Structure 1
């Protein structure tokens, strides 16, 4: 049976910038990691990148702050 691809437990998106929150079970309990990406359209296809321009940075700061708050409020360790 093929292994299912892990999905984020939560996503935060502002405009084209997205933070995905991943939950990982460890020997000391649940831990979270966050990946940040920017969505863009190439032709008819949507793609993502981890490269950000000057005007993306305020949104990066906001989605990362919101991700931190979500993890903190979820009641588990970071």
Structure 2
């Protein structure tokens, strides 16, 4: 994986982070939360109320990846 994300999609507390590894894309999904000390952390676990935003983030990440793959294919020709 590259050191910097290729793209991020955020909806509320949910983030989809897209990574580009030489044209192979992968996605990490996470939920932000605040600790009792007031520090922001993230977790790969989601509550029922998060699931719609998880689905929307995943869909938007997939659309972004599909566009990138198309751009890459055009550039190779």
What band does the TM-score fall into relative to the shorter chain?
0.7 to 0.9
Secondary structure of the equivalent of 2:49?
helix
Secondary structure of the equivalent of 1:68?
helix
Count of matched residue pairs = 69
Structure 2 unmatched ranges of 5 or more: none
Q: State the Cα distance separating 1:7 from its structure 2 match.
A: 1.4
Greater strand content: 1
Runs of 4 or more, structure 1, over 2 Å off, are none
Give the one of 61, 64, 69 matched to 2:63.
69
- Equivalent position of 2:10 in the other structure: 13
Secondary structure of the equivalent of 2:55?
helix
Q: State the Cα distance separating 1:11 from its structure 2 match.
A: 0.3
- Equivalent position of 2:41 in the other structure: 47
Secondary structure of the equivalent of 1:7?
coil
Normalised TM-score (structure 2): 0.83
Greater helix content: 2
Deviation by residue 1:6-34 (Cα, 9 ceiling, x = unmatched): 11110000000000000002xxxx11000
